[in-house]
Homo-oligomer: A and B are copies of this chain.
Amino acid sequence: MARAGLTTELVAQVGAELADEAGFDQVTPSALARRCGVKVASLYSHVAGGHDLRVRIAVLALDELADRAAEALAGRAGRDALIAFANVYRDYALAHPGRWAAAQMRLDRDTAAKSGAIRLSQMTRALLRGYDLPEAEQAHAVRLLGSVFNGWVSLEAGGGFSHSDPEPAESWTRALDGLDTLLRNWPSR
């Protein structure tokens, strides 16, 4: 009988495509098996179950995001770095809404530790070196930036800005302007 040639990585990859096309909550063993042209039970050779499948897609997404962020940050600093980094989040989520939804999953601690999430927060911290923040304030600023990126992108990708006035892209650049000035005038106590 002809084989489809699946591997764990390939299954996660196809799952990510399915997530982007149909929504992350449509990513189930049975839907994925259909898309791979394989019987459901066959997936269980590659993946431990539905939850494991979704976690693998989340990790894949976080790694892709971290890779792109690293590339965007190379050779940039200060405002340029901030904007490039932020746009990686936004572009990724708009291009890959299913993967973005996957990346929002709550991961257990050591899965998270092995994922791109750590690299992303390290890069955020590196980005802040282009601004003159006191050491003690950096952790707070990292969290604020992470919140803005995650929050904005989830709202926009989720259609939260769809039916209101200004173009989201316009607001986005204004928001980044705002963050840049905030980082230059950070209220240290």
Q: Contacts A106-B158, A151-B148, A152-B147: A140 and B181 contacting too (C-beta < 8 A)?
A: no
Which residues in B have their C-beta under 8 angstroms from that of A178?
A: 140-141, 144, 182, 186-187
User: What is the oligomeric copy number?
Assistant: 2
Sampled A-B contacts (18; CB under 8 Å): A104-B154, A139-B165, A140-B166, A140-B178, A144-B178, A146-B155, A147-B147, A148-B148, A150-B151, A151-B151, A174-B189, A177-B189, A178-B186, A178-B187, A179-B182, A180-B187, A181-B182, A182-B185
A positions within 8 Å CB-CB of B: 104, 106, 109, 121, 137, 139-141, 143-144, 146-152, 154-155, 158-166, 168, 170-171, 174-175, 177-182, 185-187, 189
* In-complex Cβ contact of A154 among B154, B186, B187 (8 A): B154
Instruction: Let me know if B154 and A143 touch, CB within 8 A.
Output: no
Most chain B C-beta atoms within 10 Å of own C-beta, residue among A151, A155, A158: A151
* In-complex Cβ contact of A158 among B104, B121, B170 (8 A): B104
Instruction: Let me know if A144 and B181 touch, CB within 8 A.
Output: no
Most chain B C-beta atoms within 10 Å of own C-beta, residue among A150, A154, A164, A170: A150
* In-complex Cβ contact of A144 among B140, B148, B162, B187 (8 A): B148
Nearest opposing residue in chain B for A137, CB measure: B174
- A85 → chain B closest CB, angstroms: 15
